[in-house]
Amino acid sequence: MQVKALVKGTVQGVGFRPFVYRIASELKLKGYVKNIGRGVELVLDGSKSRISAFFTKLRNSSPPLVTIEDVSSSEGTFGNYNSFKILRSSGVATSVSIPPDVGICDDCLRELYDESNRRHNYWFITCTNCGPRFTMTRELPYDRETTTMSQFKMCSDCEMEYTDPLNRRHHAQTIACHKCGPNLQLVDIHGNELPASDQIKKTAELLNRGKIVAIKGIGGIHLTCLASDDKAIGRLRERRRRPQKPLAIMARDMDTVKSFAMVSATEEKLLKSWRKPIVVLRRSNHYWLSDKLSPGLKTIGVMLPYTGLHYLLLDHTKGPIVMTSANLPDEPTIKDDEQAMAKLANIVDYFLLHNREIYNRCDDSVIRVVQEKLVFLRRSRGYVPEPVEVADAGETILALGAELDNTFCIAKDGKAYPSQYIGDTSNLDTFNGLKESLSKFQGLIGASKFDSIVCDLHPSFNTTRLAKELAEKYGCRLVQVQHHFAHLASCMAEHKLEEATGIVCDGYGYGLDGKAWGGEVITARGNAFNRIGHLEYQPMIGGDVATKKPVRLAVGILSKFMDANEIAGTVAASKDEVRVWLKQLETGFNVVESSSCGRFLDAVSALLGVCYERTYEGEPAIKLENLALSGKEYIELPVKITRENDSYVLETTGIFKALVESLDSPPEDLALSVHHALAVGLARIAEKSKSRNICFTGGVASNELFNRFLAEEITGIKTQTKVPCGDGGISLGQAFSISLDKAHQ
Ligand code: ZN
Ligand code: ZN
Ligand code: FE
């Protein structure tokens, strides 16, 4: 009997054809397998029972990177075969996607440490199941020639493996060895090579001696130093002008991780998965690394090694190492050698570089596990360019996201492809990085033109301006979507909803009334949305300056029930400062009204003396949450909801006043209680919508306590687990709003 089948999904560049070849050969089936435009086609010739055994194996034991979305098959007569063969590709790939970069697999790891293997100690060991993919691919179809491996001519040994269908490196485009593959250079800041027989071992020695080394990786360059070395970390922070922002680390193995952090089963699984993200863990009582890694926080961002180089390096370092993206403030991560030498010479002591080009920049992904669910703080390496399935809008859409933590997203044929992490697009270099990544991404996704381009409602974001330019260039429609509706739509996209109510809490988004929104309850039916409630507006004295100096936010609220003397006696500000600010409030000069949940938490953070000055995004609220995590007692805070202009308003002045009156209580209890009061109040407003689909999203939705309290208030509350709830998820929501538009018509 003969059967012809078409397999769709992630089936190219993932060792799928050799896998098919192997199981067909084992079962003594004849026929062929080949890549075609729509997926992989195969013909099987053999007995019915063997063919059915083949399909069982196909489903149950496919390689880790293969995702089979659909198998359609039919019986018939398809020719004469006397063996099983892998045939050449035909047609241009249209609905296949290249996989994300994959952490080193167990087989390669075994070979790395096997003295008899010819790749023993080879730092760039990979196979069909592991290694870089997205970051090195220039265009489709995925082939050696279309990747940044094209410059390395295979040696005869590698070539033999590459062409042998039974070899586990058959058609592995990253195939390389000591003889023919990329190699390392260890240089000082003047570019002089350091004499060393083993550059990785030498690098480890430098780190052990307190040096800072820039190390080129898969999707960019990392800054590294010993994670237990206070002095080195202090120097790194000083040189980089980053006094407080948490630094991620890399630890050799799970035992090491467990020596300083608490790890749940879900977290362990995530750490060990081939995607190898940074997972934000709680420090344990035995924490022994430097306190300077995450000042003021109880958490630490950890990842496991994901390349041969990482393993070989950590074999020789005295414990875990800092592994933070090499960039200057707000600029994109550096990925090219020359740029690294030019920009990092004042920060690092040495460079460990290699001669393989990184084509697509891709930072490490950062994930937190909250209530046993994944919360993406950054979705990048190991995940991009994997699509999120969405309703097919019947057109090709480009969504450009917001401003901070930017990602863009291309949607077509029922799939939305969120980009890698881009960053703060108000920075010109990062904005240029966005444009560059976009044109590269278009090539990989096969989107040469767009029907709709979507951006934020904010009139002066760089992304808004770019959207207008591109809409003109492509002669297509431009759609502007309100920031918090885009957050909600992103959550609706993940849960395939057309109707929902969203509690959207974040830092800042341009509101329909031109004010600064950020603590919103929104109902949506299709793309028609209604803001049914929000946090009370509070003044931001000095506008954006207040975001950096949260004590101003506190003063803004205190001014509603205290005079200058009382205020100066309550928060860390002089009477003179307070008087100037009160004057400003009176005249309204440069005072912005904000309903932001993030800003209110910032004000509380300043009131409780947790954080007066913000040195990184979200710092005051993140530190407040960390404090609240050790809270035990609830302090009664008023949850009062009033009606104003057809909206429910959760009064925050009353909550703040009650906090001031309880300042003699333990600050951790106050911090805990304020989270609880806000969650209860927002839940009460959301419940008024009577919707069965209540979503919680926005940057604040990464907060563990809000998630816990909202889950207590609202059964089945929906959160985001596929893209960030913060502004990194905005682009998906913008793209999905077009589908919602269609659904509504
Ligand atoms: Zn491998
Ligand atoms: Zn070779
Ligand atoms: Fe936002």
How many domains is the chain partitioned into structurally?
A: 4
Mean pLDDT on 384-400 = 93
652 and 513 share one domain: yes
Boundary residue ending a domain (330, 355, 380): 355
Lowest mean pLDDT among 57-66, 173-182, 463-472, 717-726: 57-66
Closest ligand (CA of 488): 3
The CA 102 to ligand 1 mean position distance, Å, reads: 9
443 and 382 share one domain: yes
Q: What is the pLDDT of residue 417?
A: 96
Indicate if the pLDDT at residue 377 is higher than 90.
Answer: yes
The CA 250 to ligand 3 mean position distance, Å, reads: 29
Closest ligand (CA of 131): 1
Q: Radius of gyration of the chain from Cα atoms? A: 27
Mean pLDDT on 355-373 = 97
The CA 63 to ligand 2 mean position distance, Å, reads: 24
602 occurs within a structural domain: yes
pLDDT tens for residues 185-233? 999 999 999 999 999 999 999 999 999 999 999 999 999 999 999 999 9
Confidence at 89, pLDDT banded by 50, 70, 90: confident
The CA 179 to ligand 2 mean position distance, Å, reads: 5
Confidence at 91, pLDDT banded by 50, 70, 90: low
The CA 154 to ligand 3 mean position distance, Å, reads: 48
Buried-state track 323-335, b at ≥16 Cβ within 10 A, e below 16 = bbbbbbeebbbbb
Boundary residue ending a domain (40, 56, 86): 86
The CA 542 to ligand 1 mean position distance, Å, reads: 54
CB atoms within 10 A of CB 85: 15
pLDDT tens for residues 545-572? 999 999 999 999 999 999 999 999 999 9
Closest ligand (CA of 156): 2
143 occurs within a structural domain: no
CATH number at residue 439: 3.30.420.360
Closest ligand (CA of 179): 2
The CA 70 to ligand 1 mean position distance, Å, reads: 26
Mean pLDDT on 33-52 = 90
Closest ligand (CA of 308): 1
Tell me which residue range forms the domain holding 407: 367-497+725-743
Indicate if the pLDDT at residue 90 is higher than 80.
Answer: no
52 occurs within a structural domain: yes
245 and 383 share one domain: no
CATH number at residue 75: 3.30.70.100
425 and 459 share one domain: yes
The candidate with the shortest Cα–Cα distance to 31, out of 70, 76, 69, is: 76
pLDDT tens for residues 509-550? 999 999 999 999 999 999 999 999 999 999 999 999 999 999
662 occurs within a structural domain: yes
The CA 174 to ligand 2 mean position distance, Å, reads: 11
The CA 23 to ligand 2 mean position distance, Å, reads: 27
Closest ligand (CA of 507): 3
The CA 180 to ligand 2 mean position distance, Å, reads: 4
The CA 518 to ligand 3 mean position distance, Å, reads: 7
698 occurs within a structural domain: yes
The CA 129 to ligand 1 mean position distance, Å, reads: 5
Closest ligand (CA of 132): 1
User: pTM for the full model?
Assistant: 0.94
**Pair of tokens at residue 741:** 């538009």
The CA 156 to ligand 3 mean position distance, Å, reads: 53
pLDDT tens for residues 275-294? 999 999 999 999 999 999 99
Indicate if the pLDDT at residue 13 is higher than 80.
Answer: no
540 and 415 share one domain: no
The candidate with the shortest Cα–Cα distance to 638, out of 677, 688, 608, 580, is: 677
The CA 484 to ligand 3 mean position distance, Å, reads: 7
Q: What's the mean per-residue pLDDT of the chain?
A: 95
CB atoms within 10 A of CB 716: 8
Phi-psi region of 423 (alpha: psi -120 to 50; beta: other; left: phi over 0): left
Boundary residue ending a domain (86, 114, 148): 86
The candidate with the shortest Cα–Cα distance to 264, out of 704, 720, 719, 711, is: 704
343 and 218 share one domain: yes
The candidate with the shortest Cα–Cα distance to 455, out of 424, 431, 488, 479, is: 479
The CA 317 to ligand 1 mean position distance, Å, reads: 24
Closest ligand (CA of 153): 2
The CA 555 to ligand 2 mean position distance, Å, reads: 66
The CA 698 to ligand 3 mean position distance, Å, reads: 5
The CA 131 to ligand 2 mean position distance, Å, reads: 16
172 occurs within a structural domain: no
Q: What is the pLDDT of residue 94?
A: 52
Confidence at 92, pLDDT banded by 50, 70, 90: low
The CA 103 to ligand 3 mean position distance, Å, reads: 31
529 and 559 share one domain: yes
Closest ligand (CA of 508): 3
The CA 168 to ligand 1 mean position distance, Å, reads: 8
CATH number at residue 603: 3.30.420.40
265 occurs within a structural domain: yes
Q: Where are the beta strands (DSSP E) in 119-277?
A: 184-188, 213-216, 221-226, 249-250, 261-262
505 and 643 share one domain: yes
Confidence at 63, pLDDT banded by 50, 70, 90: confident
320 occurs within a structural domain: yes
404 and 492 share one domain: yes
Q: What is the pLDDT of residue 745?
A: 65
417 and 456 share one domain: yes
585 and 618 share one domain: yes
The CA 9 to ligand 1 mean position distance, Å, reads: 21
492 and 508 share one domain: no
Closest ligand (CA of 457): 3
